Structure 1
């Protein structure tokens, strides 16, 4: 498994991984970058991408909209 997340979770506009999530995000919720405000995809698309990259069993954890590296 790689050490860095990629694909849809990284903003293609400002290259950060900071998601702005609604408190009760539904699968169809539109998610934007918290830094630049650009649309990144639906919550379902982004969560599926995160899970493909190891999800909760990989080197990263998704906690309250923040992706943290597990040391």
Structure 2
């Protein structure tokens, strides 16, 4: 099985296909998160963090810190 190179599912907007999240500084697990490009609802902050972790995004490739997702390396 080939190793996934890109994140998919909830982090990519199903409407405009970009990965730009509108995350408030004071986001908590229940905070609704929208696409920053088209404004459509993507899920709660908890759902999006869970999806990122499920895809291995927190295993050395990406870091979630203070409500922001940053690529490492």
Fold match by TM threshold 0.5? yes
Runs of 4+ more than 2 Å apart: 58-71
The CA deviation at 1:61 is: 3.5
Task: Tell me which structure has the larger Cα radius of gyration.
Answer: 2
Larger relative contact order (Cα-Cα within 8 Å, sequence gap ≥ 6): 1
More helix by share: 1
Structure 1: give runs of 5+ residues left out of the alignment: none
Tell me, in whole angstroms, the C-alpha distance in 1 between the residues paired with 2:66 and 2:55.
18
The CA deviation at 1:24 is: 1.1
> TM-score when scaled to structure 1?
0.83
Aligned residues: 71
> TM-score when scaled to structure 2?
0.81
Cα displacement string for residues 13-37 of structure 1 (whole angstroms, at most 9, x for unaligned residues): 0000110001010100000000110
**1:26 pairs with 2:28:** yes
Please report the RMSD computed on the Cα atoms of aligned residues, expressed in angstroms: 1.8
Structure 2: give runs of 5+ residues left out of the alignment: none
